[in-house]
Structure 1
Amino acid sequence: MHMEIDGRAVSDDSLSAPAFLNYGHYTAMQVDDRRVRGLVLHLARLDSATRELFGTGLDAGHVRRLILHALDGAGVRDASTRVYVHWPDGNEAPTVTVTVGPPAEPSGEPRSLMSVPYQRPVPHIKHLGSFAQIHYSRAAVRAGFDDALLTGPGGVVTEGASSNIGFWDGTSLVWPDSPALAGTTMALLEPGLPSVRRRVTLDGLGAYRSAFVTNARGIAPVCRIDTTEFTVDEELTRRVSEVYASAPAEEIQEGLPRPLTAGARPC
């Protein structure tokens, strides 16, 4: 793992805020030959969340430059990369941390999910409050599942612990119409497939033939949620995967970054 904060190698002092301040947000992406599918969506997510949490924008050119600098520092062109945003007290602008690790290869193996009664707070932001997600994911693995499926009152399906979930009803890909993070992979799939938003509940899962989870690593079919089994349709999986693969990968170019300036913090 290679890590830089605002383009500089980490130190004990610079790590103090990320280590102890659990208020911020991030995005996770797969870099392939210094290109990223949905890069513009990742950058928009970072800017939007920074505005909502800290009251100022985050320049896309600056973020691109920091990602490139971290890739150069690690000496790689392919990587699993994360960009974290904090605003420690006393700083004049948000602090941007970039981590670079080995690229993740999705297994494509069917996933089994255990439903749990939990909804993420402020779900439209990819924030750092992930204790419950990790807790329920570990509980699901101990119970013999691959991961957890988050649900609300009345068994309303929202999202996976670290993914979006979509259901195939025979004609359309159905995304749960409930508060959840709009993932980049999900956003890339929606325009290329017949897609609808609909309320999905645990007691109504039998109406769907197949299901998929999507995140920055890609797409994987779902074979079971609790005791409800789904068909792993190889042709459908191929079709969904091809739509995702057809999304253009954007080169991470520096552009013309503007210096970050402090905005008015919310009072």
Structure 2
Amino acid sequence: MTSFATHIDGRPATAEELAPLAFAGFAHFTAAQVRDGRVRGLDLHLRRLRLASEELFGRALPDDRVRALLRAAIEDGPQDHSLTATVYSRAGEFTAAGTDTEPAVLVRTGPASSGPEGPLSLATVEHERDLPAVKHVGEVAKTRLLRQAVARGFDDAAFVDRRGRLSEATIWNLAFWDGSAVVWPVADVLAGTTMSIVRRQLDRLGVPQHEREVTPADLPTLSGAVVMNSWTPGIPVHRIGSTPLPEAPPFLDLLHKAYEAEPLVRP
């Protein structure tokens, strides 16, 4: 019988050690915070996985099947936790094989998180993600740029595209405040599920929202900025590049109010 070895640091790897590495490969994913066994924006997570699978694999699992897989993992863990669902090709990457088989799903849970407290400072770096509309894995540049930003004295990095527009941050969407309306930067970005939750709830609350291009030169005219992702609907940003940004507690409160208005749903 032929056997093969998988070692980490010279010893056999455990399943616990290998689980984080499941993010590597030809795959895409969604991340959510589970509270009381429920998630916000379930329809958005399902839509994200469905559209990304169609983009990468030419096919997608039925939503009911994905819901069942999410439910099984949620029921197997504590009531409050972080969840990541990764959809991948069983044939792996760097091969044309596997186009005739349906993708597989790995669901991983871990400790619940609300993200850093903030406020954060963001270095500006020129960068554009490949396939920005897909939340895909293997983006080595984001970790490299984060670490470079921290080495320069910042907390994280914000991306500026080739046209000079602010787009998103390493693992965050950006949102701005002009004093009366929420401003969403126009650029090629990943539409985060939290961002989408907040946008539809702001609509229901009657809060003005605008979409426009935002450049670093525009920052002094704005009244606040935040980053958001699956951890939180808003962490304040007090500096982007060399430009300070004012505190905007009403803006932050508004984003959290909108997020909390979204019902929690069991898969």
Give the alignment's TM-score, normalised by structure 1. 0.84
Note if 1:176 corresponds to 2:203: no
**Secondary structure at 2:154 match in 1:** coil
Q: Is the 8 A contact 1:155 1:203 kept in 2?
A: no
Following the alignment from structure 1 to structure 2, what is the Cα–Cα distance between the partners of residues 102 and 25? 21
Aligned to 1:228: 243
Describe the superposition over 1:34-79 as per-residue Cα deviations: whole angstroms up to 9, x where unpaired.
1111111011000000011111122222112112222333x31211
Q: Flag structure 2 segments of 5+ consecutive residues without an equivalent.
A: 1-13, 92-96
Q: Is the 8 A contact 2:60 2:103 kept in 1?
A: no
Aligned-partner residue type, residue 142 of structure 1: A
Q: Is the 8 A contact 1:117 1:151 kept in 2?
A: yes
Worse overlay, 86-95 or 186-195: 86-95
**Secondary structure at 1:67 match in 2:** helix
Following the alignment from structure 1 to structure 2, what is the Cα–Cα distance between the partners of residues 236 and 20? 34
Aligned-partner residue type, residue 62 of structure 2: D
Which stretches of structure 1, 4 residues or more, deviate above 4 A after TM superposition? 18-21
Q: How does 1:12-31 map to 2 (within 5 A)?
A: 19=22, 22-31=25-34
Give the aligned CA root-mean-square deviation in angstroms: 2.1
**Secondary structure at 2:194 match in 1:** helix
Aligned-partner residue type, residue 214 of structure 2: V
Q: How far did residue 21 of structure 1 move?
A: 5.7
Q: How far did residue 248 of structure 1 move?
A: 1.1
Describe the superposition over 1:173-198 as per-residue Cα deviations: whole angstroms up to 9, x where unpaired.
11111100001111112231311110
Aligned to 2:90: 88
Q: How far did residue 133 of structure 1 move?
A: 0.6
Following the alignment from structure 2 to structure 1, what is the Cα–Cα distance between the partners of residues 35 and 48? 20
Following the alignment from structure 2 to structure 1, what is the Cα–Cα distance between the partners of residues 194 and 254? 14
Note if 1:205 corresponds to 2:205: no
Aligned-partner residue type, residue 213 of structure 2: R
Select the residue among 67, 71, 74 that pairs with 1:68.
Answer: 71
Following the alignment from structure 1 to structure 2, what is the Cα–Cα distance between the partners of residues 203 and 239? 26
User: How many equivalent residue pairs?
Assistant: 239
Aligned-partner residue type, residue 252 of structure 2: T
**Secondary structure at 1:213 match in 2:** strand
Q: Residues 111, 20 of structure 1: CA spacing in aligned structure 2 closer, same or farther, 3 A cutoff?
A: closer
Aligned-partner residue type, residue 104 of structure 2: T
Following the alignment from structure 2 to structure 1, what is the Cα–Cα distance between the partners of residues 105 and 266? 20
Q: Is the 8 A contact 2:23 2:138 kept in 1?
A: no
Q: Flag structure 1 segments of 5+ consecutive residues without an equivalent.
A: 1-10, 253-267
Aligned to 2:253: 238
Give the alignment's TM-score, normalised by structure 2. 0.84
Select the residue among 152, 156, 164 that pairs with 2:165.
Answer: 156
Select the residue among 130, 136, 144 that pairs with 1:135.
Answer: 144
Following the alignment from structure 1 to structure 2, what is the Cα–Cα distance between the partners of residues 78 and 20? 22
